[in-house]
Structure 1
Amino acid sequence: MSRCGARRQGCPRGKLRALARRWASGRTGGRDTSDDAATRNAILPDWLAKKRGEDAPIEVPLADADPANLFFALDTQWHRHAMTGQRTGIDYAAIRPTAELLGIEPTPELLADLRRMEMAALAQFGAKAGSARR
């Protein structure tokens, strides 16, 4: 079975992780109205793609639209470290109600995709925190 899962044979590897890393690296706080467009279309907003000089947006295959939309909708549902404010992971209790409000069926495959995106974002947050300490 590929990293994309059994339901999406032949899909490009790493699109969801790349999307999560790009989101995590460009996040400066607050909500931008571009986030809403990204949530609807599952395409990285232009302001975020250009922030780091990356002109090409990450195009998410239609099969990955639900995990990407849910990941963006969970933007405010991250646990944070009490002392540092560093994000430590998504609040998993928020996944099912958020998915249901978006009309997305919660499945084991969806959770696996979200976990891949969460791990990619956490790695990016860690890299940003490490470079800020230097």
Structure 2
Amino acid sequence: MRAIIYARLSPTPRGEESKGGNLTQQVKLSQALCDRKGWSVVATIVEKDTSASTKRGTKRSAEWERVKALVEDGKADAIVSRHYDRMYRTPWDLEDLVDLAEATGVTLAAAQAQGVLEVSP
């Protein structure tokens, strides 16, 4: 399986620790999962989040659009993150993620969750 590692750091108020952990840790955990599964990593995409709009229909970051393009172009079969919440910011983003999985058959995997998430159309 060809995997994309996606790491995203959420902004936090000064002095607070990020909910998503640091980017290096996210990538290492995701890489370890790929290694255990025997998946080859075709891209590692890191996003240092600068804002998280809550408006429906707001365009996602350039980094996420790159993830989507790789999946839609058939260049990746899985998206791997530290946890599933790194793949979306809002309920609408989650809905779009499920739509992507249904349309392409991409596997969603999280290093700190039990198993992988496969969405069947």
- TM-score > 0.5 by shorter chain: no
> TM-score normalized by structure 2?
0.30
- Relative to total residues, which structure has the larger helix share, 1 or 2? 1
Structure of higher CA gyration radius = 1
Higher strand share: 2
Q: TM-score, normalised by structure 1?
A: 0.28
